[in-house]
């Protein structure tokens, strides 16, 4: 991993997203003490993308002499109630910093409670509102993800009738959905036909993909911002004999994304510099604890990929 991280640090390819980075920190940051312990509530610790983030966080914490404790739901699903209970436990344990993915706006009061307890908060992929409850937020701008997915479809020949598969109706999922739909409305050949929710639960993706294709046979694209949606969607396309007629826009090479590019079930995958996300949030919290200024929003590289040239990015820690 050391060589991989050095490669990432030296990579010249980086697409910065979102608004201009803010150079201020919260009031709790200004009063912070040195960070010696970080408590990471991983939303999907068994999923490859989040496993990579957690591993890179742990390695960076070790390098900086910080104790990192990781927890998260153990049933393979994004269980917000379990995550909130674990965040509450971190507050009770009086750790120096808490890091998590704020899956919905419901996380905000709890993260604000941590701030009032003089615990620094780092969020990964927080939406515009949830990120406001953190001292620094690291991740892709999911509104931009929606936009670049539609741009990818505009380049395809013919009408693109899209079924959207999203986590839920709030947070970063809503940012993605709203941006995708707005960009589609402005395009001549892209129409959003229907939207389904899976709560970022891989076990629901197959049923929801089949539901989209049954209720709306005109759909020829299923798009999702969730890596957990890929395997089920690809399975639905394959089992229905729709390879070549229906394609997916997927998040990440893991979970069937790379294989889908090769067999034609996936048109493009969105990838990002995930290891960098993990190292940046640890670095940012440690710097804030040392009294340094850190941008409130730190972005990671993100692009849409076909099969050509993909391996080089995978080797550099993108997923």
pLDDT in tens, 304-313: 999 988 888 8
The span from the CA of 85 to the CA of 81, in Å, is 6
How many structural domains are present in the chain? Answer: 2
Based on the fold, state whether residues 106 and 136 are members of the same structural domain.
Answer: yes
What CATH number corresponds to the domain at position 288?
3.40.50.2300
Based on the fold, state whether residues 235 and 283 are members of the same structural domain.
Answer: no
At residue 314, φ and ψ (nearest 5 deg) are -60, -40
Of 3 and 114, the structure prediction assigns the larger pLDDT to 114
- Sheet arrangement for strand 221-224: 190-197, 160-166, 221-224, 247-251, 266-272, 302-305
312 located within any domain: no
Buried b (16+ CB within 10 A) or exposed e, 228-251: bbbbbbbbbbeeeebeeebbbbbb
91 located within any domain: yes
The span from the CA of 201 to the CA of 208, in Å, is 11
316 located within any domain: no
Based on the fold, state whether residues 11 and 82 are members of the same structural domain.
Answer: yes
Based on the fold, state whether residues 155 and 136 are members of the same structural domain.
Answer: no
Residue of 135, 202, 130, 191 lying closest to 163 (CA atoms):
191
User: What local confidence, expressed as pLDDT, does residue 110 receive?
Assistant: 95
User: What local confidence, expressed as pLDDT, does residue 39 receive?
Assistant: 98
% of the chain residues with pLDDT over 90:
70
* Cα–Cα distances in angstroms (integers) from residue 297 to residues 177, 281, 317, in the given order: 21, 10, 21
Mean pLDDT of the 121-139 span? 85
pLDDT in tens, 155-170: 999 999 999 999 999 8
Return contacts of 242-249, CB within 8 angstroms, 24+ apart. 242/213, 245/220, 246/213, 246/219, 246/220, 246/221, 246/222, 247/220, 247/221, 247/222, 248/221, 248/222, 248/223, 248/224, 249/149, 249/152, 249/153, 249/221, 249/222, 249/223, 249/224, 249/304
% of the chain residues with pLDDT over 70:
89
Based on the fold, state whether residues 157 and 233 are members of the same structural domain.
Answer: yes
Cβ neighbourhood burial of 48 (10 Å; 0-12, 13-18, 19+)? middle
Task: Return left, alpha or beta for 88; rule: phi > 0 is left, psi -120 to 50 is alpha, else beta.
Answer: alpha
Is the pLDDT assigned to residue 289 strictly greater than 90?
yes
Based on the fold, state whether residues 46 and 94 are members of the same structural domain.
Answer: yes
Based on the fold, state whether residues 9 and 58 are members of the same structural domain.
Answer: yes
Domain limits for position 190? 142-271
Is the pLDDT assigned to residue 280 strictly greater than 80?
yes
Mean pLDDT, the chain, integer: 88
């Amino acid at each position: 991993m050391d060589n991989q991280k050095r490669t990432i640090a030296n990579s010249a390819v980086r697409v910065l997203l979102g608004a201009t980075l803010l150079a201020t920190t919260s009031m709790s940051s200004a009063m912070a003490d040195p960070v010696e312990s970080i408590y990471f509530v991983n939303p999907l610790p068994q999923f490859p993308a989040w496993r990579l983030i957690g591993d890179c966080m742990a390695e960076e914490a070790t390098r900086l002499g910080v104790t990192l404790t990781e927890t998260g739901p153990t049933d393979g699903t994004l269980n917000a109630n379990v995550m909130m209970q674990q965040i509450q436990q971190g507050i009770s344990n009086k750790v120096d910093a808490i890091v998590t993915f704020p899956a919905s706006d419901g996380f905000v009061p709890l993260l604000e409670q941590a701030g009032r307890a003089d615990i620094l908060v780092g969020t990964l992929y927080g939406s515009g509102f949830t990120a406001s409850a953190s001292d620094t937020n690291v991740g892709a701008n999911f509104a931009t993800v929606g936009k670049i997915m539609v741009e990818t479809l505009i380049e395809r020949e013919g009408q693109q009738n899209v079924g959207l598969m999203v986590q839920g109706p709030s947070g970063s999922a809503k940012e993605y959905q709203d941006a995708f739909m707005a960009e589609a409305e402005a395009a001549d050949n892209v129409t959003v036909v229907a939207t389904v929710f899976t709560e970022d639960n891989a076990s629901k993706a197959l049923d929801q993909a089949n539901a989209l294709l049954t209720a709306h046979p005109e759909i020829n694209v299923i798009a999702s911002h969730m890596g957990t949606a890929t395997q089920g969607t690809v399975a639905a396309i394959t089992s229905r004999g729709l390879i070549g007629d229906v394609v997916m826009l997927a998040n990440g090479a893991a979970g069937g994304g790379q294989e889908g590019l090769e067999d034609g079930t996936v048109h493009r995958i969105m990838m990002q510099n995930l290891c960098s996300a993990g190292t940046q949030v640890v670095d940012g919290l440690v710097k804030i604890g040392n009294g340094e200024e850190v941008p409130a929003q730190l972005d990671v590289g993100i692009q849409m990929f076909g099969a050509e040239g993909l391996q080089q990015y995978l080797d550099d820690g993108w997923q």
